[in-house]
Amino acid sequence: MVFNSLVFLVFFAVVYGLYRVLPHRGQNVLILVSSYFFYGWWDWRFLSLIFVSTLIDYVAARVIDDAGDNRRRRRIAVGASIVSNLGILGFFKYFNFFAENLAALLQAFGVEVSLRHLNIVLPVGISFYTFQTMSHTLDVYRGQMKAARSFLDFAAFVSFFPQLVAGPIERAARLLPQIQQPRTISRDGLESGAWLVAWGLFKKCVVADNLAVLVDAAFGAEAPTGAVALLALYAFAFQIYCDFSGYSDIARGISRWMGIDLMLNFDNPYFAVNPKDFWARWHVSLSSWLRDYLYISLGGNRRGRGRTYVHLALTMLLGGLWHGAAWTFIAWGAFHGAMLVVYHAWAERYAPKGTADSGRWLWPRRIFFFQLTCLGWLLFRAESLGQVGDVLSRIFTDFAWDAQATDALAALVLFCLPLWLVQLLQVKTGDLLAPMRLSAVPRAALCATLILMALAFGNTGGGAFIYFQF
């Protein structure tokens, strides 16, 4: 069940109608039941994974909370949570990948092995809800919050359907209290939620789904020209941004209608001027999770400059692996890790007081870093590392402009122009809800443009979101 489908529209209409008339505890029961129904619509068999993960972390957090000063008991409980959750995630997501690569490594040394390839189906959203439920146990272990006492409230927090399968990855300290306390649905929440839902659907159904046709054709073609390949790479940058941020916008909008405020997951990342700035804007819920629970746990910047660089690189490498069991994702993580290391080394030497993030040469720096970001997206989108080399070779050796390139450029501009204009407004005002605050005439013009483009080009087929595969 996806947001951009008639099935979800009917589902949410029924759920929301009941939600508005139920008391607080009844709302939480409804959240839990409807969330399990929402997830089970895809494959009911995998509901057991959510339940098991929920139960493990609920019990582990309770044990940690009740253990007091018993450090051994606390460590056993948090260890059980980490091993269990990562074990489930590792089996479903990485078993075949590691088995295949281990077999290849052994064969390279002359050891013949019989590879057992399991027919494993990757559960939708497992990477997201696994990290979300673990955050509760880790925060309780660190003394940053008390363990949830109500299993109903905790299970509703883990499975909250708007952000269950593609985030944002909410922290227990932020979302759980909103589940535990009675909620108020305000006029501002309804209005801002409506904008987020509408804008998110536009980004997904108009921009992302139409650019996907261009991107898939270019990456699937035998030999597109370098010009087409480059334009397809730019198109993919906006496809994946609009697809993923569109989902986050819809999730945040629906949640606001329910009186719940989800964290901001995207803040115009293509206006970033350096890799540090980019990861403060792109998939913020994941980057902050990796920072707080992995980078800092490794030692962060507390063990000297060299170790800091190692921790940065390792965190991003594992962040790439989080996205999928493929060398392309690992290479993408390594690429961003290398950029972070280089940037931090440069800033420490030439801009120790933070002037690296000043406004000097702002647009040239944005444009330059966008090129680097797109180079990273090539690693992310390519089917193999070999295809990465092939695409780069064509861009630099066969950059022939033809009719196909002209069509690709026209499609890129047509579908992205409203996006760019809205983003410029948001960046200029520093307000992501700035389109809502326009005067009557420009607001009407914007709405008319979005509606007409949705009617003319909108995909009504309910295509899946890219990040469902992660």
CA distance 368 to 271: 10
CA distance 16 to 27: 10
Residue reference for tokens 């709302």: 27
What does the block give as tokens for 19?
Answer: 């939600």
CA distance 435 to 314: 39
* Cα–chain center distance at 7: 23
Residues contacting residue 224 through CB under 8 Å, at least 6 positions apart: 217, 218, 232, 394, 404
CA distances from 467 to 114, 407, 463 (A): 33, 28, 12
CA distance 378 to 335: 11
Residue 265 neighbours by CB distance under 10 Å: 26
By C-alpha distance, which of 99, 90, 140, 129 is closest to 117? 99
Helix axis angle, 226-257 to 362-381, nearest 10°: 100
CA distance 247 to 46: 22
CA distance 422 to 434: 8
DSSP assignment letter at 122: P
By C-alpha distance, which of 461, 457, 445 is closest to 202? 457
Q: Judge whether 375 and 201 are in contact, CB under 8 Å.
A: no
388, amino acid identity? V
Q: Judge whether 313 and 334 are in contact, CB under 8 Å.
A: yes
Helices (H), 68-186: 71-108, 126-141, 151-159, 172-180
Residue 311 a catalytic site member: no
CA distance 4 to 461: 8
CA distance 237 to 62: 43
Q: Of 136, 323, 336, 344, which is the active-site residue? A: 323
Q: Judge whether 380 and 208 are in contact, CB under 8 Å.
A: no
Q: Is the peptide bond before 168 cis (omega within 30 degrees of 0)?
A: yes
CA distance 90 to 80: 15
- Coil vs helix vs strand at 108: helix
Residue reference for tokens 């198109």: 235
Catalytically active residues, by annotation: 323
